[in-house]
Structure 1
Amino acid sequence: MARPTLQLHPRKEPAVAHPAATLLLLRDGALGVEVLMTRRSPNASFLPGAYVFPGGRVDADDHQTHTLARAPDAGGRYRTAALAALRETFEELGILLAVQADGRPITRTHLQALDRSRALYPQLQAQGWSLAVDQARMLACWTTDRSVPKRFDTVFFAALMPDQQEPVADEMEQFEPVWVRPQDALAQHQAGNFFMIFPTIRTLHWLSAFEQAGQALAACTEDEPLWNSTPRGGLVGGQPQRFMEQDLPYAELALVCPSGQLEHALDWQHERPVPLLRNLHRLTAPNASVMTGPGTNSYIVGDAASGYIVIDPGPLLNDHIERLLAFTAGQITAIVCTHSHADHSPAARPLAQACARLTGRTPPVLGLASAATARSTAAFAPDRALA
């Protein structure tokens, strides 16, 4: 990690993430696996109008009612979260994963004996019923990214929709329960008709790989998440976009904005250097290709007082060389080439000569000479070879 004094943005302590849980109820539809989603109240303080899976905060009662859970060992260290997910699903949609004292599942008729406006656990105790936490499979853990003022540490579970039950929204927190194929939900979101947040979108992408609900549940575990993610956000085309740990931009966001500030532009820049740290900039050459991606990255290390080192000046493109020269005002103390490929080293010598014309000083070109068998386009001879 970079020293805090080199960070572009001051460090700040993220808001505390509150424990929460959610449940993906699955079924097999005519065209494949479907998941139950609902629309949050437009007046909600968190994610108004978003389509979500049922769920909510872990309450104190969830910590104290493990005796109401069937299968004493089910859920492991996420057992309390599993109880919360099942309780919230009942409160919001009237669906209850529970069994009677003899082990038979609860049906729609049994649910008529329960009042959703009252606490669930005392009612279960009075009926002698238990929550079927063993039917909720562990899927993932999502923690709200650091830039958001209201954060949750949410455990995602998945389960089959119980037979002989129908979702009925509470019309306070949740509205419009809908069964939807993951692919259709993602397409509607892309069209702007089905607002969802990043963890929901990524979870649906995972779910869309399965043709049947049983296959998705089989891919889950009893007590270990398939992934544990705290996304980071950056600006792409001026709009916020979030990324998981395995996404390429994540490491750059962690470097530039370690406290989660939503301020770093991830767009590849050919016209101007992108600041990464107080003494580190990246300028991407306009030589996009299959081998170079958006272009070769030239790195500029230093500042006006110390002078600059340019690492990998790139291909022989005059515009790119002129931009490196303009940003550094020719105050380059060394040019380093990591290797001699035609997209990394040819600009080294012309850049050094341009510095000499501008300042009267020629920076040394450092690196490892190309082999005698190298192509003419990759021929490279440094002023001094590096070990």
Structure 2
Amino acid sequence: MTDASLAATPDKTALRHAATVIVLRRDAGEPPRVLMGQRAERAAFMPSKFVFPGGAVDLGDWNVPLSAPLGAPNAARLAHDAPDGIAPALAAAAIRELWEETGMILGARTDWPDAAPPDWQGFADLGFCPAASDLHFVFRAITPPGRPRRFDARFFLVDAEAISNDPDDFSRACDELSHLQWVPLSEARALNLPFITEVVLAEISALLRPGQPISPPASVPFFDNRGPASRFLAIET
């Protein structure tokens, strides 16, 4: 999530659609790990907190071609109580934010049908087009009122095996997150985390089955803070 994208919105407290990516790594002989980084101490939103890569949907994300689309269950659930056509844009935003903040590529080697938008040029220059088929929509949360930034965030889970480049190479990452690292899932909740990240980590832990591939959950938890009272719902579309 760049300062430029925030500056494009005059009211920074307005609710913005956003996407977050939880990259899960399950190497042989190692405990399950997730990729996290720390936000800057002076950041307006969640300063000093450890978070997953993610940020707001940019205008260009609505027109980004996907070399492989979202799976049907994920697309249907993302469309629930949301603007028409937003599912591919959310997937594109997730892949772009992962690329910008970590340097990781979730894509396939293929040519873009048209010129890549500026935010995607580095991704395209490496010969990749974004691929969303390995993303699994697992959580949705709306930031409570009164915060300096508010997002309607969708959390995606992806296996690190779907990443096309070296998962230990962060050399192409921007400076949005520091201390990028693979954190054992069992130890992540000991970090300085936002409340919602703690909740998501618990949900992810409950989803995992040893030796089994990631699959869509039976329903997607939805922490809805649009009204005067918080509601914890389930998206079952």
* TM-score normalised by the chain length of structure 1: 0.45
- Alignment partners' CA distance in 2, 1:73 and 1:138: 9
Q: Which residue of 2 aligns with 1:52?
A: 51
Pairwise CA distance, 1:52: 0.4
Pairwise CA distance, 1:120: 4.2
- Alignment partners' CA distance in 1, 2:210 and 2:169: 21
Q: Segments of 4+ in structure 1 off by > 4 A?
A: 72-75, 123-128
Pairwise CA distance, 1:23: 0.3
In angstroms, what is the RMSD of aligned CA positions? 2.9
Q: Which amino acid is 1:197 matched to? A: P
Pairwise CA distance, 1:71: 2.5
**Deviations for 1:67-115, whole angstroms, at most 9, x for unmatched residues?**
2x1135656342111110110111111001011129xxxxxxxxxxxxx
**Deviations for 1:199-254, whole angstroms, at most 9, x for unmatched residues?**
10001111223254845x21448xxx61111259xxxxxxxxx97627xxxxxxxx
Q: Which residue of 2 aligns with 1:245?
A: 232
Q: Percent identity?
A: 26
Q: Which amino acid is 1:24 matched to? A: I
Report the CA distance shift for 1:19/1:157 in structure 2 as closer, same or farther (over 3 A).
Answer: same
Q: Which amino acid is 1:245 matched to? A: F
Q: Which residue of 2 aligns with 1:90?
A: 99
Between the two proteins, the alignment pairs up a number of residues equal to 196
Residue 98 of structure 2 aligns to a residue in which SS? helix
Q: Which residue of 1 aligns with 2:192?
A: 195
Where structure 2 has 5 or more consecutive residues not aligned to the other structure, the ranges are 1-12, 80-86, 112-116
Q: Which residue of 1 aligns with 2:224?
A: 230
Residue 227 of structure 1 aligns to a residue in which SS? strand
* TM-score normalised by the chain length of structure 2: 0.71
Contact 1:167 1:177 in 2 (8 A): no
Residue 188 of structure 2 aligns to a residue in which SS? helix
Contact 1:32 1:212 in 2 (8 A): no
Contact 1:26 1:213 in 2 (8 A): no
Contact 2:135 2:157 in 1 (8 A): yes
Q: Which residue of 1 aligns with 2:8?
A: none
Contact 2:107 2:164 in 1 (8 A): no
Q: Which residue of 2 aligns with 1:365?
A: none
Q: Which residue of 2 aligns with 1:27?
A: 25
Pairwise CA distance, 1:132: 1.2
Which residue of 14, 17, 21 corresponds with 1:16? 14
Which residue of 101, 105, 108 corresponds with 2:110? 101
- Alignment partners' CA distance in 1, 2:211 and 2:62: 30
- Alignment partners' CA distance in 1, 2:165 and 2:70: 27
Report the CA distance shift for 1:31/1:219 in structure 2 as closer, same or farther (over 3 A).
Answer: farther
**Deviations for 1:331-385, whole angstroms, at most 9, x for unmatched residues?**
xxxxxxxxxxxxxxxxxxxxxxxxxxxxxxxxxxxxxxxxxxxxxxxxxxxxxxx
- Alignment partners' CA distance in 1, 2:51 and 2:141: 14
Q: Which residue of 2 aligns with 1:154?
A: 153
